[in-house]
């Protein structure tokens, strides 16, 4: 179990993701039609700046795209041997974009976005 020892256990992260994705599926259903939502573009901070605590983070902001994240997720799942071609920094960035989208859709003030 995760505790205050500062250790990230991958098994704990996996369990937490499963719990959260189960909750998202319960709330939104087994599929979310992204093309029906006005959620394609979002602000993104470069990983090196986000964790490097740069002096001027506003210079490191770029634009992410949910449809691109979805295309990269599809590509990842269709690879013949994903263990050979996984790029953690790249693939996790796209997955985290989709996870952040789920978090955004769950915000109380995004009901109108979900109903469009």
Contact at 8 Å (CB) between 76 and 86? yes
65: which strand partners?
41
Residue 84's pLDDT is 66
- Residue 69 burial by Cβ neighbours in a 10 Å radius (0-12, 13-18, 19+): buried
What are all long-range contacts of 68-73, with beta carbons under 8 Å and residues at least 24 apart?
68/94, 69/94, 69/95, 69/97, 69/98, 69/101, 70/34, 70/98, 73/98
Tell me the pTM. 0.86
What are the DSSP E strand ranges found in the chain? 41-45, 61-65
Residue 2's pLDDT is 47
Residue 1's pLDDT is 52
When pLDDT is cut at 50, 70 and 90, the band that residue 54 belongs to is confident
Residue 25's pLDDT is 97
Q: What is the mean pLDDT of the chain?
A: 89
When pLDDT is cut at 50, 70 and 90, the band that residue 79 belongs to is confident
pLDDT at 81 over 70: yes
Residue 86's pLDDT is 85
For 16-33, the pLDDT digits (tens) are 999 999 999 999 999 999
pLDDT at 63 over 90: yes
């Amino acid at each position: 179990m995760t505790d205050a020892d500062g250790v990230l256990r991958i098994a704990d992260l996996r369990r937490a993701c499963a719990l959260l994705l189960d909750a998202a599926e319960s709330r939104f259903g087994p599929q979310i039609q992204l093309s029906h939502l006005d959620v394609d573009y979002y602000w993104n901070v470069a990983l090196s700046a986000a964790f490097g605590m740069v002096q001027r983070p506003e210079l490191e902001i770029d634009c992410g795209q949910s449809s691109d994240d979805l295309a990269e997720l599809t590509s990842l799942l269709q690879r013949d041997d994903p263990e050979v071609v996984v790029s953690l920094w790249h693939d996790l960035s796209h997955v985290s974009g989709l996870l952040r989208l789920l978090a955004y859709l769950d915000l109380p003030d995004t009901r109108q976005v979900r109903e469009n």
